[in-house]
Structure 1
Amino acid sequence: MSTQHPTPDKDAIALLPPFERLGLDRITLVTTGQQARSAWDALMQSSAWGFDTESKPTFKVGEQSNGPHILQLSTSERAWVFQLHDPECSTVAAQLLACSGIVKAGFGLGDDRKRIVHKLGIEPQGILELNSIFRERGYRKDMGVKGAVAVLFNQRFIKSKKAATSNWANPHLSEAQLLYAANDAYAAIRVWQALEL
């Protein structure tokens, strides 16, 4: 029988030193087709990306989200935050997600996949749910990014609750939103690389 590993709890994680996140100098906001094509050129140098999306939260019962509003892709060096308002930018983002042969690693991606299919009209390729790897390795419950960073790096991944529930459809994203979005994808690629070693 495979060994069961405990997932660290909140109190244990709170005692760990912080995970070093990307600063704004290593995050590119992508809002136009031209910026998206530049991001494409940079991203295509890597065989795996950290991946996540953000959607404007819904608060009313029965209210349907028309997200995702943001797509985040990251290498171990830099992250790109795509705003999906501009049709050209949205098209390039869809093409990136449709690329086969490139791993797109992240946490809790079931909902993201459904929304991408609905909004961008493509079936994303190469999606890797990192939780499933931890399950295969004997961790009982979903890790999420915080648990994974704690287990692999012995560090605490800091997430802002305020940024998480902010308006991702806003045409002007705050610095806090950019840091939150980019680092979710950045942590995912770092976790993937650590699991690969």
Structure 2
Amino acid sequence: MDKHQENPIPSKEQIILYPKFKNLNMNQIILINTFEQCLDIQSEILQIPVLGFDSESKPTFKKGETNTGPHLIQLASHHNAYLFKVNPETLSFLATILSSRQQLKVGFGLKNDLHLFRKLNIELNHYIDLAKRFKSFGIENALGVKNAMALLFHVNFPKSKRMSTSNWSKQVLSPEQMDYAAADAYAALLIYEELLRLGKLNPE
């Protein structure tokens, strides 16, 4: 096992000095609300073998408040990020992709997603939780997207608390929300491919 150093994760001070992560452009980020919009992208998205994956939920701030999410589900390729507002129409389309054993979904911290999807009667199949795939670097604990991007690519991947705790149940998302949501799914895809290239993952 090649650890290089005692703690291979760059420090916060180091990460701040790294160049900022370059996300997909806004014209590559597609917000989907209706089944008609799903059909528009159906042929292209069903041909993508590996999809970066994430979801967002409206945060709960009060004790005992029930999480009603997910409110947004993100899937990303190298060319586009597809942001699906969760409703019966989009879920009927997404169920096929999420439960597919042909299309691989890669993301971080998927335990909560699995729980939320089961409440919607959707089983997430053929997926990799990348958070726990860094043991070969000497990292035993789960790793987040920001540190994974810093470790593998030496870039500063911004994680805004203001965005992560924003209202994801809104029908119309702000450009900042769309950029944030797309980045998480797109970064997961890049991280998966880099781990594969480095021989740190077995092809699935």
Q: CA deviation at 1:136?
A: 4.4
- 1:2-151 mapped onto 2 (5 Å cutoff): 3=3, 5-85=7-87, 87-119=88-120, 121-151=121-151
Q: CA deviation at 1:48?
A: 0.5
**Quick check: 1:5–1:140 contact (8 Å CA) kept in 2?**
no
**Quick check: 1:49–1:73 contact (8 Å CA) kept in 2?**
yes
Q: CA deviation at 1:5?
A: 5.0
What is the TM-score normalised by the length of structure 2? Answer: 0.90
Secondary structure of 2:133's aligned partner: helix
Distance in 2, matches of 1:43 and 1:124, equals 17
**Quick check: 2:72–2:84 contact (8 Å CA) kept in 1?**
yes
Distance in 1, matches of 2:24 and 2:162, equals 19
Runs of 4+ in structure 1 deviating by more than 4 angstroms, as ranges, are 1-5
Q: CA deviation at 1:190?
A: 0.8
Deviations 1:95-148 (A, max 9, x none): 2101112211111111011101112x1111112110121124422332211111
Give the alignment's Cα RMSD to 1 decimal: 1.5
**Quick check: 2:8–2:151 contact (8 Å CA) kept in 1?**
no
Does residue 171 in structure 1 map to residue 167 in structure 2?
no
Q: CA deviation at 1:79?
A: 0.4
| Number of equivalenced pairs | 195
Q: CA deviation at 1:159?
A: 2.2
Q: Any gaps of 5 or more consecutive residues in structure 1? A: none
Q: CA deviation at 1:93?
A: 1.4
% same residue = 38
| Residue type of the alignment partner of 1:115 | L
| Residue type of the alignment partner of 2:40 | S
Distance in 2, matches of 1:107 and 1:32, equals 27
**Quick check: 1:135–1:142 contact (8 Å CA) kept in 2?**
no
Distance in 2, matches of 1:146 and 1:39, equals 29
Deviations 1:136-175 (A, max 9, x none): 4422332211111111111111122211110111111111
Q: Any gaps of 5 or more consecutive residues in structure 2? A: 198-204
